[in-house]
Structure formats: C-alpha cells, structure tokens
Chains A and B, each alone.
Chain A
Amino acid sequence: MARRGLVFAALLAALAVATAASLALGAVKVPLGTVLDVLLGKGASATDTQIVEVLRLPRTVEALAVGAALGVAGAILQGALGNPLASPDVIGVTGGAGFGAILIIIVLPGSIALLPLTALAFGLLAAALVFGFAWSGRNRGSVGKVVLAGIAVLSLFTAGTTGLLAAFPERAPSAIFFIAGGLTSSGWRDLETVWPYFAAGFVCVLFLIRPLDRLALGDDVAASLGSRPQLIRLGAGVAAALLAAASAAIAGLLGFLGLVVPHVVRMAGGSSSQTFVVPASALGGAALLAGADTLARTLRAPIEMPVGPFMVILGVPLFLWLLRRAV
C-alpha cells in the first residue's frame, strides 16, 4: 500500500514537471514570469500571449488528454482481455483511424477540416466491426475471437491505407506524418471537436474499474458477484475504442503508450488491481506524452521532430529497469 502511494506521488511529480515544462519551454524563449502572467490573465505582448495561450496551452492539454486516454485504454484492454500484449491497436481502432485520415488527406484534401471527425468515425467503425464479429456465432465475446477479429480488421484497414498511398503516390508524403503520430499547435480547434468522446470514454472507464477487478479473478467469480463477463469486456472495448479513436483523431497513430505504460505502472507499484493501475496509467501516460512532446519541439528548436522516438527514449529505459527488478 505504501509502495503504491509512493508511485502515485512520483507520477504526480512527473506530471507536474512535464506540464510546467510544456508550458514554459518552446522554440521561442518566453520568460517564466511572462508565461505566468499570460496564464493568470495579467496580459503580455501580443506575440507572447499568442504563443502561450494559443500554441502551448492547448497543446499541453492535448498531450495530457491523449496521454491519459491511451494509457487508460491500454490498461483496461489488458485487464478485459487478460492479455499483457493488448493495446488499442488490438481492437482495430488505430487501423481504422489511419484509414479515415489518409482518405481525407489523399482523396478529399479539400475537406481537411473534417479530418479529426473522419479519423474518429473510422476508428469507431473498425472497433464496431471487431466487436461485431467477435460477438457473433459461438463462443461469443471470447478473448480469442476478439484478438483474431482485431487482427483481421486491422489488416483490412491497413491494406486499404496502403492501397490509397499507392494510388496517389504524389500525395503520400502528407500522409506519413499522420501515420507517425504527433501533436500539433492548432489552438483549441481539434479538442473542441473530440472532447465529448474523451469525456464519454473516461466516464465509462470509471464504471468499469471494479467490474474489471472482478473479471481478473475469472469469469465464474465475476458471475458469482453479479457481473456479466461478456458485458464487461464489451464495455471495456467500447470505452477503449472511444478513447483511442479520439486520441488518433488529434494525434495520429501513437503506439507504445497504450501498451507499455500500464506495465510500467504495474511493475513499479507491484499491483495489478485496476483501482491502482487505471488512474496510475492515466497519470503516467499524460506525463510521458507531455514530456516527450516538449522534448520533440525544443531539442532542435525551431525544428519540430516526431514525438514517437522521444516517448521511447523516456519510457523504455524505465521499463527495462523495472523489468530487471521485477520477479
């Protein structure tokens, strides 16, 4: 118990540091005092205000939201499917979202404003297909069926994406950046579109935490306690799909977070109880993405580098160190 408290404290500290860095640092040097002035509404030069209010603040919030969402989505999927390799990719969301985005970028570039919604819609469609197939026929909703359906749907959408890229090779470069994943500084525009899906996903997760702990003891124990195992799995799938689709809509295809953060948190805290893992994954994911994004846009300023490698640089050494110490 004390160990978990320690882990929470460390995660909160990391989150605070990452958030502060994300707001205070950037390609243009803005003194800390000025940053605080802008945030507290005390006014500063037009340029500084624009930079802090319109560029850094929304981007920081996006990083925290997406990081938390992906961390939590990974945690609940790993719990619901009883599989340590589960992540939002497994339920097809990232494949679908990628296809939707590429569709806009390559085939309908004039509709670029609809990119977040299209990515979100196709992400949810892919998840719906996965669960539809997994819930049909015999052995409804079994873990094996979900995983296999996920692989099939992912392959389907990946093939579609590759096909589009091959058909319009001139336009392919624009699409690569979505696939690589990363945040952009475009004000609140994207968040305004997708925040309801984040909210819905997080609320679902709140109600899933205890049922998932029951599911961890086996379908029979969960049934004894009054839960329906298949319903819990479906609920977890829906919540994860909402969170992952909303994340992909604004940050492209970011893997790694959903898979690794729950494991790091579990190993550090020595506990698999969802009441610990879910909130800890939210904090850890948010801190990791905010930190990695800050590094990606300040290390070689004013050049913006992709965020993926920085997530790996920050996360993998910690993961490996914990892995060595874990039994």
Chain B
Amino acid sequence: MEAAARSEAGAALLEASAVAVEIGGTPILHSADLRLRAGELVAVVGPNGAGKSTLVRAVSGLQRPSAGAVRWSGLDLDGLRGRDLARRRAFVPQRMQVPAGVDVREAVTVGRSSHLRPLRRLTGADRAGVERAMERARVTRFAGRSLTTLSGGELQRVQIAIGLAQEAPVLIADEPTSQLDLGATIAVAGLLRELADDGLGVLLVVHDLALAAAVADTVVVVSAGRTVADGAPARVLTPRRLTDVWGADAHLTGRAGRTALHVAWLPRGDVRAP
C-alpha cells in the first residue's frame, strides 16, 4: 500500500476531544477524538452504528455534544454561531434534498449565501466565487441543468460545489461515495484528494476501507462509540484491527498506485449456516 508521506505543515483547524453525544436519551458516542489540519484528508471509518456520522455531525455543529471539547482554530464550538461557523467549515450531507425547478448554478449560489448580509444583493465578487466553486468541483459544464436531471455522481459533485462556495478552509463530507458507482466514486474521490492537496482540510466518513486507505492521510477508526485508532492508513488498518473492529479476516494491499482490500468472504473451517 502506498503510504505516501504527504507532509502537512498545515495549521490545526479542528481539535475535538472526548466528545460524547446522546440522541433521544440514548448515548451514541461515548468518547471520541478528532484532529484536522489544513491540507490534510482525514477519513473516519467504522462499522455501522459505531457513531461515525454522529461524531462528524457533532464536530460540525449539526448535533449538540453532551460532553467533550470541540475547537475550530482555537475557538470553542459553543461560541461559534451560524455565519461564523459557516465560514470555517462546509458540511456536505450524504444526499441533499433535490428540489424541482432549481438549476445547478442557483443551488451553488445558495451555498454562497453565508457570505451575504440579509437583504444584500449578489455582488460581482459573489458571482465569481460561485463560478470558482463550480470549476473546482468540475460541474461548470452542466451549470444550467435542473438538479433533478443529474446522475448520482454529478449531484454529489454539485453538493461539493455548494460546500466550496462557502469558501471555508474545511470541507466535511458524510459518506459522499456510498451511493455511487465505480466511475463516479473515482471522480469524487479524486476531487476530494485534489482539494486536500490544494490546502483544504477535508474530513470524510467512508465505508470503503480501500478507498479510505488510498485517499486519506489519516484514518480514524470509530467503534462502539469510541475512537480506537488514529494514524496513517497502513498503521491503522492492520489485519488485527480489521478483525477486532469489523470481525473480518482481511488485509489491505497497495501496489502500483492501486489499493485493495483482500477479504476472506467465506471464513475457512466454519460450518456453513444451514
């Protein structure tokens, strides 16, 4: 596996420690830590129900933590509201609502609205920002198309463009590739890696461990509501860990720019279930 030593001398944009979250009285996250620097791509992985999305939503300010400390560039999350938070991070959900009668450019312009004072009109600078965001996400060529006509991959890139329009130093994406086909996954993954290389801090929740290993600088493993590992993909996603956390007999390989997860789908010596 190519554990490319990507040196990040970036500033610490996000520091979260001992984060706990309760939803409807049920503890989902018990204690989780997370760090993100500029130019770094952090992938959060773990089994279903472990609390990956909850952790990421909590640090993004979408879900109130019941305990722990979350700091954005040194500032406490509690003290950051609305507009300020929107300038520091952009959250891209797995799938946004797709309204009829809205085209791509309009949607990306909405992403720009965090920069606008309540009743002020869009300025030339704002429009330029929108075009920039669309270019970076490579959606300019269908800027005039209605959202409802887009494929899964195209829509995901538009969502990223909306996030980029916020012009925040951090982009957070919750399972951006889970619903996409191979080609679209490659396109989105490539885009996210590019953004990190450009200096953005990128935080991803992913299921696909091979993908995580390929694009991430750091992998954080969440299991049963706690972060159990944090580091370079090769060091974290060891066969031992894959067994402990996922109950899988598997190992990651990387060769000639390709990453793969070798899995014993049907474990040797087990009696097959009747």
Contacts and interface: CB of A to CB of B under 8 A. Distances in A.
Given A216-B99, A271-B102, A227 B82 contact: yes
A220 B96 contact: yes
A256 B116 CA distance: 35
Interface of B: 24, 60-62, 81-86, 89-93, 96-97, 99-102, 106-107, 110-111, 113-114, 116, 118-119, 159, 162-163, 166
A112 to B, nearest CB: 41
A225 B101 contact: no
A226 interface: yes
Contacts of B24: 138
A225 B110 contact: yes
Chain B binding surface, main DSSP class: mixed
Contacts of B166: 224-225
Given A225-B110, A272-B102, A217 B82 contact: no
A217 B83 contact: no
Interface string A134-149: 0000100000000000
Find the residue from B24, B61, B102 having the highest chain A CB count within 10 A.
B102
Nearest to B92: A224
Contacts of B113: 210, 213-214, 225
A273 B159 CA distance: 17
A105 to B, nearest CB: 41
A82 B85 CA distance: 26
Given A218-B93, A224-B86, A272 B99 contact: yes
Nearest to A139: B24
A226 B86 contact: yes
Nearest to B148: A327
Contacts of A216: 97, 99, 102, 110
B68 to A, nearest CB: 19
Contacts of B82: 226-228
B269 to A, nearest CB: 45
B162 A217 contact: yes
A266 interface: yes
Contacts of B97: 82, 216-219, 221
B96 A207 contact: no
Contacts of A273: 101-102, 106
Interface string A171-188: 000000000000000000
Given A221-B162, A270-B101, A273-B102, A226 B114 contact: yes
Find the residue from A207, A213, A219, A223 having the highest chain B CB count within 10 A.
A223
A153 B207 CA distance: 45
Nearest to A206: B119
B101 A272 contact: yes
Given A225-B110, A226-B83, 16 more contacts: A138-B24, A210-B116, A217-B96, A217-B162, A218-B97, A220-B91, A221-B91, A221-B93, A221-B97, A223-B62, A223-B91, A224-B92, A226-B114, A271-B102, A272-B102, A273-B106
A271 B100 CA distance: 8
B161 to A, nearest CB: 12
A273 B100 CA distance: 9
15 contacts: A82-B97, A210-B113, A210-B116, A216-B110, A217-B97, A217-B107, A219-B97, A221-B110, A221-B159, A223-B91, A224-B91, A224-B93, A225-B110, A226-B83, A272-B102
